Amino acid sequence: MYIGSTDEKGLHHILTEIIDNSVDEAVPGFAKNIWVAISKSGEATVMDDGRGIPIDKHKSGLSALEVTMTKLHAGGKFGSEAYQASSGLHGVGSSAVNALSSWMRVIVKRDKKIVYQDYKRGKATSKLTPIKKESEVKKLTPSNHYKTPDSDSFTISSFLPDTQIFKKTTDWNFTKIKNLCRERAFLIGGLTFHLYDERTDEECHFYFDGGISSLIKHLNKTKKTLHEIIHFSKEITLEDNPIGTIGVEVAMQYTDSYNENIQTFANVINTHDGGTHLTGFRMALNRVVKDYGLKNNLFKDLKSGKGKTNGLTSDDLKEGLTAVVYIKMHSNEIQFESQTKTKLNNPEAQSAVFAVTKQFLTTHFEENPGEARRVLGKVLLAAKARMAARAAKDAVVRKGALEGSSLPGKLSDCQSKDPDQSELFIVEGDSAGGSAKQGRDRKFQAILPLRGKILNTEKARLDKIISSDEIKNLIVALGAGIGETFNKEKLRYHRIIIMNDADVDGEHITTLTLTFFFRHLKAIIDGGYLYVALPPLFKVKHDKVEKYVYSEEEKDEYIKTLGDKKIGIQRYKGLGEMNPEQLWETTMDPTKRILKKIVIEDAENADTVFRTLMGEEVPPRRKFIQTHAKMATLDI
């Protein structure tokens, strides 16, 4: 209920709860440092130099610390006035983490006293125990990186996730933890994170003085920017607003890219699905850009076929925009769509963000006409490209609609019309396509061969993309449209499998295809419908036994097990070398094949990697390849 799931995502959510307790101390300026350490035996330790959880007696007769750690909905740690912009997790967060831990210990220094208490699966297993000397604290923490904060108060929380709850894994992903802490360091200028992974002796530290402007700079580090970062913030109290003051902070910058990257936050929580604050920002940006363009007669060339001003759409404003929208409001009043807090629901946030953005952006454009015209130039270019793309897109839609069941000529469709049962193999070349067509189970497997390497869609707008015959055939075969016409309900296959040769050219074609889906049909990835097939590299034969292996390393290890037996090794240069029976047995048979499901765990990092490897700039690509080439592995 509180962490969403008990898999790896849920595991890291409980650590987020404890980290955000410390971040809540930093928001009003009480904490300057947060330490996060993963011990060799798997315990997580989080420490901050804030005020320390209260340890005095609660009205229930227990200590305030024990109430916070064992009672759901215990309320804020320091009363209603202390956390004007907290994540809203106190009481629920700490006690939920405690309930999901096989062991937990909290050490607090407050009011010149140091105490600790132990817990197990939500219940206290010791009394509130005094610690006489501060030097004894280090012995009570599982981390080797405990350092006494230069502070009169602190909180240290250590816990071990319960394997009875987290049955899939209790192995911490340090990369996820780093991304989590770096994101929060960006949001709160002046806060320092110290991270330690004692399993690998890795450590890193994050400090950003510039707040969300630093985050914009980080997000755009591989992009060509069109103007300086626009940053503004204000606390606003709306008329007839029952929830008091709302803090609004926005940073934005346009780049020469074709894709949008907007991140939204509510009280340091990343609202991945947006919400009312994002709606308010979009409405204000649309209003300001349109008003400025009309006032300065910048839309004179934006004509429709009838000679009338076509007008801008929200998609025109998105192209190349990087923005961060960050709102702060009282934790008791903040409303999310669900307990996992991915979408903000407060209508007051929409009004506040709209008012602040409209006021500041209007003034900024008036005072900086050069920047304003560069922004309008980018938006107008996107609008013209949209109009050029519309005719091509309409042609694609018409081809699917007007010709009824007429699909691309190269598509060998399956008999099933149930998307849940149907799968489409996207293969390179007629040779591999021929083997796949003969080897498939035509009841539920469709084959679409593509000729050569498709267009690099990282470097092209939608109008050029849709003019490519190979991509057009793929769009029509999928049946769900593209861009604003995309409709997931019309998707004809719920298992779309990219199947290419197991060599460098095959990997390049796979990367080009993944780029297309990531940039233009991301909803297919988000829906869990995209896969990559892993064909074997070798067939090893000894006596009458044949075994398919998928890498040089696997081949060498298998040969070692055969001893002095006489063996034969066949290396497959491509799928076309396999006869239909072999292709079915190794790569297409659902009972034997190996598929990699494509998921997006870190959208920001994925965006950076695609831009670096597939974009226009050569130096970042060369540096990336030189740095990471030896790290490449075949992970099956």
Nearest to 126 by CA among 62, 54, 32: 62
The answer, yes or no, to whether residue 234 has pLDDT greater than 80, is yes
Reported as a single tens digit per residue, the pLDDT across 7-54 is: 888 899 899 989 988 998 888 889 999 999 999 999 999 999 999 999
Torsions phi, psi for 235 (to 5 deg):
-95, 130
Looking at the domain assignment, is residue 550 inside a domain?
yes
pLDDT in tens, 586-600: 899 999 898 999 998
As a whole number of Å, the end-to-end CA separation of the chain is 32
The answer to whether residue 402 is domain-embedded is no
577 pLDDT tier (thresholds 50, 70, 90): confident
Query: Do 30 and 170 fall into the same domain?
Result: yes
Residue 164 has pLDDT above 80, yes or no: yes
Q: What pLDDT does residue 309 have? A: 43
Residue 87 resides in a domain:
yes
Answer yes or no: do 25 and 72 share one domain: yes
Give the integer Cα–Cα distance in Å for 231 and 360.
9
pLDDT at 256: 87
pLDDT at residue 405, as a whole number:
41
Please give the tally of structural domains in the chain.
4
pLDDT of residue 226: 94
Which range, 201-205, 459-463, 533-537, is most confident? 201-205
Kindly state whether residue 284 falls inside one of the protein's structural domains: yes
Tokens at residue 4, please?
């969403």
Q: Which range (45-49, 245-249, 371-375, 480-484) has the least confidence?
A: 480-484
CB distance 486 to 475 below 8 Å? no
Domain boundary among 207, 241, 270: 207
Strand, helix or coil for residue 566: coil
Does 238 share its domain with 253? yes
Task: Tell me if residue 170 falls in helix, strand or coil.
Answer: coil
Residues 195, 203: Cα–Cα separation, whole Å = 5
Between 406 and 449, the more confident residue is 449
275/348 Cα distance (integer angstroms): 11
Q: What is the pLDDT of residue 76?
A: 46
**Confidence tier at 340 by pLDDT (50, 70, 90):** low
Q: What does the buried/exposed string (b/e) look like for 98-115 if buried means 16 or more CB atoms within 10 Å of the residue's CB?
A: bbbbbbbbbbbbbeeebb
Does residue 487 register a pLDDT over 80? yes
pLDDT band per the 50, 70, 90 thresholds, residue 339 = low
Contact 107, 131 (CB under 8 A): yes
The CA-based angle 418-422-427, given to 5 degrees, is 150
Highest mean pLDDT among 63-77, 296-310, 356-370: 356-370
- What is the rounded CA–CA span in Å between residue 117 and residue 216? 42
- Distance CA(422)–CA(497), nearest Å, equals 11
What angle, rounded to 10 degrees, do the helices at 369-402 and 347-367 form?
Answer: 120
340 vs 84, 177, 349, CA distance in Å? 20, 18, 19
In-domain check, residue 395? no
One domain, residues 257 and 326: yes
Mean of the per-residue pLDDT values of the chain: 85
Of 211, 173, 153, 180, residue with least CA distance to 33 = 153
What is the pTM for the complete model shown? Answer: 0.69
CA pair distance 206, 186, nearest whole angstrom: 9
Is the confidence at residue 68, as pLDDT, over 60? yes
- Tell me the CA distances in angstroms from 403 to 398, 446, 476, one per residue in order: 7, 19, 11
Q: What number is the average pLDDT over the span 510-529? A: 92
Give residue-wise pLDDT tens across range 41-60. Answer: 999 999 999 999 998 887 87
| Helix, strand, coil content of the chain in percent (nearest 5) | 40, 20, 40
CATH number of the structural domain spanning residue 44: 3.30.565.10
To the nearest 10 degrees (0 to 180), the angle between helices 92-99 and 8-26 is: 140
User: Quick one: 306 and 431 in the same domain?
Assistant: no
Given a cut of 90, whether residue 104 has pLDDT beyond it is: yes
Same domain? 147 vs 256 = no
The mean per-residue pLDDT over the stretch 467-483 comes to 87
Which residue did the predictor score with more confidence, 400 or 91?
Answer: 400
> Does 607 lie in the same domain as 491?
yes
Considering the domain architecture, whether residues 479 and 610 belong to the same structural domain is answered as yes
Is beta strand 154-161 parallel, antiparallel or unpaired with respect to 123-124? Answer: unpaired
152-156 average pLDDT score: 92
* Per-residue burial over 48-85, b = 16 or more CB atoms within 10 Å of its CB, e = otherwise: bbbbbbbbeebeeebbbbbbbbbbeebebbbeeebbbb
* DSSP assignment letter at 209: T
Span 436-457, mean pLDDT?
Answer: 91
- Greatest distance between any 2 Cα atoms in the chain: 86
Share of the chain above pLDDT 70, in %: 89
For residue 89, name the pLDDT band (cuts at 50, 70, 90): very low
Distances in Å between the Cα of 17 and the Cα atoms of 95, 141, 322 are 10, 19, 28
Strand partners, 418: none
Structure-token match 């304003």, residue found? 372
- In this prediction, residue 32 carries a pLDDT of 93
pLDDT band at 238 (very low <50, low <70, confident <90, very high): confident
Highest mean pLDDT among 195-199, 210-214, 460-464: 195-199
Q: Are 530 and 498 in contact (CB under 8 A)?
A: yes
182 inside domain = yes
Q: What is the CATH number of the domain that holds 377?
A: 3.30.230.10
**Same domain flag for 548 and 526:** no
CB 63 within 8 A of CB 57: yes
Is the per-residue pLDDT at 391 higher than 70?
A: no
pLDDT the model gives residue 458: 86
401 located within any domain: no
Expressed as residue numbers, the domain containing 421 is 407-535+581-631
Residue 314 burial (10 A CB sphere; 0-12, 13-18, 19+): exposed
Positions of E strands within 255-406: 261-266, 269-270, 321-328
In this predicted structure, what is the pLDDT of residue 259?
A: 82
Whether residue 218 is found in the same domain as residue 203: no
Q: How confident is the model at residue 242 (pLDDT cuts 50, 70, 90)?
A: low
- Convert the pLDDT of each residue in 393-446 to its tens digit: 565 555 544 344 457 778 999 999 999 999 999 998 777 888 899 999 999 999
Residue 93 included in any domain:
yes
Comparing 178-182, 285-289, 366-370, 577-581, the range with the smallest average pLDDT is 577-581
Which residue would you say has higher pLDDT here, 489 or 465? 489
Q: Where are the beta strands (DSSP E) in 444-494?
A: 445-450
What does the pLDDT average to over 560-570? 86
Single-letter code of the amino acid located at 319: E
Of 207, 227, 260, which one is at a domain's C-terminal end? 207
Q: How far apart, in whole angstroms, are the C-alpha atoms of residue 308 and residue 215?
A: 40
124 three-state secondary structure: strand
User: What share of the chain in percent tops pLDDT 90?
Assistant: 43
Active site residues per annotation:
428, 501, 503, 505
Q: Which of 387, 418, 440 is the last residue of a domain?
A: 387
Q: Which run of H or of E encompasses 378?
A: helix 369-402
Q: Are residues 87 and 201 in the same domain?
A: yes
pLDDT confidence of residue 502: 77
Q: What is the pLDDT of residue 422?
A: 96
CA distances (Å), origin 366, targets 291, 296, 369, 618: 11, 11, 6, 37
289 and 422 share one domain: no
Highest mean pLDDT among 60-74, 80-94, 476-490: 476-490
Higher-scoring residue by pLDDT: 351, 403: 351
